[in-house]
């Protein structure tokens, strides 16, 4: 990828067009995920992008309806140790607002015979696949407002996908007793047991 100057300074709002040109100078989308974890550009400012709790992307108050563009920008998301989610290119790092999780898990598939060695693969709304494991854990929190379960699976880096309600219901249908004998249910994936709730 040829280098180019991004004429932005701290405090400026970066345009989607600048970011687009930085990650796709030839107009083509690679099948391989960009190495965003190894990019350390200077933080240039903010971009008026919001990822809402339902997984939709909004720019300057309008919904981004171009699926290809949303998928493209989702590939350069990175959540840093400061808890902020950024769009990252080799030349700039700009903060975006994320209301909940940046992705939604819209499907779950089980591979292998039911039990500890099975693998649970989650498909996100932007086409990522995360197979729950020790490195990509599944967790269930309690929504502070509703008291309802809020399930998440790690997708990559520090980025999570929230499980859509039908996906969580399907997961609950796979639940088995916790092997430690506690009063909880959970699911296995790649040899790891993930608690998802209390036994009824």
Residue 33 confidence (pLDDT): 87
* 116 and 185 assigned to the same domain: yes
Residue 6 confidence (pLDDT): 30
Q: Which residues in the chain show pLDDT less than 50? A: 1-14, 23-27, 29
Whether this prediction's pTM lies above 0.85 is answered by no
In a domain, 177, yes or no: yes
* 80 and 165 assigned to the same domain: no
Residue 8 confidence (pLDDT): 33
Residue 20 confidence (pLDDT): 53
* 18 and 84 assigned to the same domain: yes
In a domain, 2, yes or no: no
| Torsional class of 190: left (φ above 0), alpha (ψ -120 to 50), beta (otherwise) | left
Its domain, for residue 173, covers: 103-198
For residue 182, the 8-state DSSP code is -
* 90 and 112 assigned to the same domain: no
Structure tokens at 71: 């998928």
Among 133, 132, 149, residue whose Cα is nearest residue 198? 149
In a domain, 1, yes or no: no
Count structural domains, the chain.
Answer: 2
């Amino acid at each position: 990828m040829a280098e180019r100057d991004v004429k932005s300074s701290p405090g400026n709002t970066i345009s989607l067009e600048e970011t687009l040109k930085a990650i796709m100078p030839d107009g083509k989308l690679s099948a391989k995920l960009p190495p965003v974890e190894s990019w350390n550009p200077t933080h240039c400012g903010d971009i008026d992008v919001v990822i809402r709790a339902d997984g939709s992307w909004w720019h300057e108050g309008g919904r981004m309806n171009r699926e290809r563009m949303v998928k493209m920008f989702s590939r350069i998301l990175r959540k840093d140790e400061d808890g902020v989610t950024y769009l990252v290119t080799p030349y700039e790092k700009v903060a975006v607002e994320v209301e909940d999780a940046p992705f939604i898990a819209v499907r779950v598939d089980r591979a292998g015979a039911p039990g500890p060695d099975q693998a649970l693969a989650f498909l996100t709304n932007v086409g990522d696949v995360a197979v729950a494991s020790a490195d990509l854990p599944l967790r269930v929190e309690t929504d502070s407002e509703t008291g309802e379960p809020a399930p998440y699976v790690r997708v990559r880096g520090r980025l999570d996908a929230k499980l859509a309600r039908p996906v969580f219901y399907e997961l609950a249908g796979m639940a088995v007793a916790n092997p430690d004998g506690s009063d909880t249910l959970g699911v296995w994936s790649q040899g790891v047991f993930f608690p998802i709730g209390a036994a009824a």
